[in-house]
């Protein structure tokens, strides 16, 4: 896959969170009733992503890597007193996005990242609407934009080293 195709796929797959934020602001009155469904959808999509990754990686290696990653995530979550782990999922998605870019399952994974971003963005938008804190939304958008840059840097570094 060349750099342009990789970057466009990355941009589209990570745009799901921004579409979710837009949907939250567009349908404010629907959010209170939709919140439990969005949380369930987010969890189901995360489980689906994990099953796809088991297909790609050796199950034993997969279990070891993700046990270490999720242990670190839960430690950081407790240390930073964060309620949500979705902010920690995107750096993991960035690394996996780079690692499976040559795999046949890559388009499916990119689609799942997009779909995962829809409820994540909607929940983030709901939180912003509830707290009336637009500065927080801008801060979160900057953070999620950085997660788009990580795989691009990995890909460019790999091309420079080869």
Query: What pLDDT does 78 receive?
Result: 58
pLDDT at 49: 84
Query: What is the pLDDT, as a whole number, of residue 76?
Result: 61
- Tens-digit pLDDT profile for the chain (162 aa)? 788 888 888 889 988 988 998 898 888 888 888 888 988 898 888 888 877 877 777 777 767 776 776 676 666 655 555 456 566 778 778 888 888 888 888 888 899 999 999 998 888 888 777 777 777 777 777 777 777 787 888 877 877 777
> Tokens for 65?
């890597």
The SS3 assignment for 84 reads coil
Q: Are 52 and 108 in contact (CB under 8 A)?
A: yes
Helix (H), strand (E) at residue 44: helix 31-56
pLDDT value, residue 112? 92
The pLDDT score that the predictor gives to residue 1 is 74
**Beta-sheet strands, E only, within the chain:** none
Per-residue confidence (pLDDT) for residue 151, from 0 to 100: 81
Alpha carbon distance 157, 77 (integer Å): 30
Task: Quote the pLDDT of residue 113.
Answer: 92
The closest alpha carbon to 10, from 106, 89, 116, belongs to 106
Cβ within 8 Å of residue 126, ≥6 positions away: 24, 31, 35, 38
């Amino acid at each position: 896959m060349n750099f342009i195709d990789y970057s466009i796929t990355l941009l589209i797959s990570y745009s799901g969170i921004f579409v979710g934020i837009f949907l939250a602001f567009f349908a404010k009155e629907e959010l209170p009733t939709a919140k439990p469904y969005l949380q369930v959808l987010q969890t189901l999509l995360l489980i689906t992503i994990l099953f796809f990754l088991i297909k790609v990686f050796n199950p034993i290696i997969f279990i070891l890597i993700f046990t270490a990653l999720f242990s670190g995530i839960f430690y950081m979550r407790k240390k930073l007193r964060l309620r949500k782990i979705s902010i920690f999922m995107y750096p993991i998605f960035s690394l996996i996005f780079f690692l499976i870019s040559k795999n046949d399952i890559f388009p499916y994974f990119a689609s799942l990242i997009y779909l995962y971003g829809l409820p994540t963005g909607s929940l983030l938008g709901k939180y912003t609407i509830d707290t009336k804190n637009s500065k927080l939304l801008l801060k979160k958008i900057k953070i999620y934009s950085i997660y788009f840059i990580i795989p691009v840097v990995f890909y460019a570094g790999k091309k420079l080293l080869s």
